[in-house]
Amino acid sequence: MLKPDYIPDTEPTIRVGIILPEDKQETIIIDSTNSKNIKVLFDRNKVEIKHKLIVFEVKNNKVFYNGMYTELVEIYQDSEPDFITIKSVVAGRGFHWVKHIEVKLSFKIEIRVEENGFIMINEMPMEQYLACVATSEMSAECPVSYIEAQTIVARSWMLANIEQKHVHLGFDVCNDDCCQRFQGVNHLSEYSKKATENTRGQVLLHQGKIVDARYSKSCGGIMEKFENLWENKPKAYMQNKSDAPEAFDIDLTQESQMNKWVHSSPKSFCSPYYIKEDDLHKYLGNVDEVGSYFRWKIQTTQEELVDNIRDKLNLDINFVNSLTPTKRAGSGRILELLIEYIDSKGLENSITIFKDYEVRRILHKMFLYSSALVIESVSISNSPFPDRFIFYGAGWGHGAGMCQIGGIGMALAGYSTTSIVEHYYPSAHIKQIYK
């Protein structure tokens, strides 16, 4: 396991959660056709597996296979081109783009049962993990300087290892957007291997520490500050900054300027000026929806909104009277949202929602792309309350650190790997920490 705040001088091994207890998966189907030297251990004793298709089930809170019970399964195999195929793995866990995909895994796999569901962990050398992440996050069609930038950023984020979201379950990161998207060797290409080799051991450093290099799909034009999204520990390399060659002269904390912003298309690196929206599907990873992320519009009805708020906040609410952003961050993301509503007794009441993530969760059952949005209420019936709410938004994700679509925009415009990472993490620099 990785240690927080520690700079390794040799390549570390890392553990990735592939199936999590929250997936409540009770069957694992593995196809081992493409793994020549596979070795399987049950509770550390070697077992002969005769069939290429291996089915594990949860029984009596243990792993059950072919009449045998075991606490721990360990599968050892070589690096790719050898791999085993796991038939059904969750991608987009908890988000509206959730689906089940097939995942091909090399190196070591561990399987055990926790809370009556499987845990599967894939253990591998760091650089192998990164080569897989580069093309799981985005497609291998991306320009080289972008894939290299994404690899340096992913390596830094991993080794800074600040979040430690899954340490209690015995792995460093999960396979999904909660941490970094990892889909095994599925999309591994000569291209992504080369990008990893070219940047081997390189991380971003700031004042002698590895940068906590968070990133998201699209900032919407201006990057967000660390402390507006997570704990109040400002970072010099994560500030409000225009994602463009020159700073935009605009103050998105002001409602009127934010309104103009979402209805316009400033020339940021993540805008259609640098990447045409029709080309985006070429560059995005395979589980993403294809749509417009730079500027978007989503509607919700009064009933849908009330149901969602009641459900998510466990609030006694019958009608929404108004939705008012009362505090915005520099990227336009909503930090405080006032909801005025009528409860089941017909009384007027209000509640304030804090933080970008909560606003995205509360305003729509599908979890909105971003909270950098303006709200229009529409009244068409005789009801005293709005019939519909329209959200006009900018960007996808929290918007801090590297804007992935912007990074591709920079690469397409000819910027180098170094200039891309230094643009998104100002005041940080690249250093190779192991060979």
298 is a contact residue toward Zn ion (CB under 5 A): no
Contact stretch for Zn ion (CB under 5 A) within 125-133, 172-180, 354-362, 369-377: 172-180
The DSSP string of 34-83 is T-TT-EEEETTEEE----SEEEEEEETTEEEETTEEES-EEEE--STT--
Determine which residue in the list 14, 174, 320, 394 makes contact with Zn ion, applying CB under 5 A.
174
Could you tell me whether strands 215-216 and 402-403 are parallel, antiparallel, or unpaired per DSSP bridges? parallel
Residue 5 region by backbone torsions, left for phi larger than 0, else alpha for psi between -120 and 50, else beta? left
Exposure of 418 by Cβ count < 10 A (0-12 exposed, 13-18 middle, 19+ buried)? middle
58 forms beta bridges with 63
Determine which residue in the list 403, 411, 412, 420 makes contact with Zn ion, applying CB under 5 A.
403
Q: How far is CA 157 from CA 29, 107, 154, 179, in A?
A: 32, 22, 5, 9
388 is a contact residue toward Zn ion (CB under 5 A): no
Q: Please name which of 218, 260, 261, 206 lies closest in space to residue 243, comparing C-alpha atoms.
A: 218
394 is a contact residue toward Zn ion (CB under 5 A): no
Contact stretch for Zn ion (CB under 5 A) within 131-139, 152-160, 173-181, 289-297: 173-181
Site track 211-250 with Zn ion (rule: CB under 5 A), x = hit: --------x-----------------------x-------
177 is a contact residue toward Zn ion (CB under 5 A): no
In the complex, what is the shortest distance from the CB of residue 179 to Zn ion, in angstroms, rounded to a whole number?
Answer: 3
* Of residues 127 and 224, the one with the C-beta less far from Zn ion: 224
406 is a contact residue toward Zn ion (CB under 5 A): yes
Site track 301-340 with Zn ion (rule: CB under 5 A), x = hit: ----------------------------------------
Neighbours of 33 (CB within 10 A): 11
Distance CA 336, CA 125 (A): 42
178 is a contact residue toward Zn ion (CB under 5 A): yes
270 is a contact residue toward Zn ion (CB under 5 A): yes
For the chain, the first-to-last Cα distance in angstroms comes to: 20
Which residues in this chain contact Zn ion in the complex, by CB under 5 A?
A: 165, 174, 178-179, 219, 243, 270, 403, 406
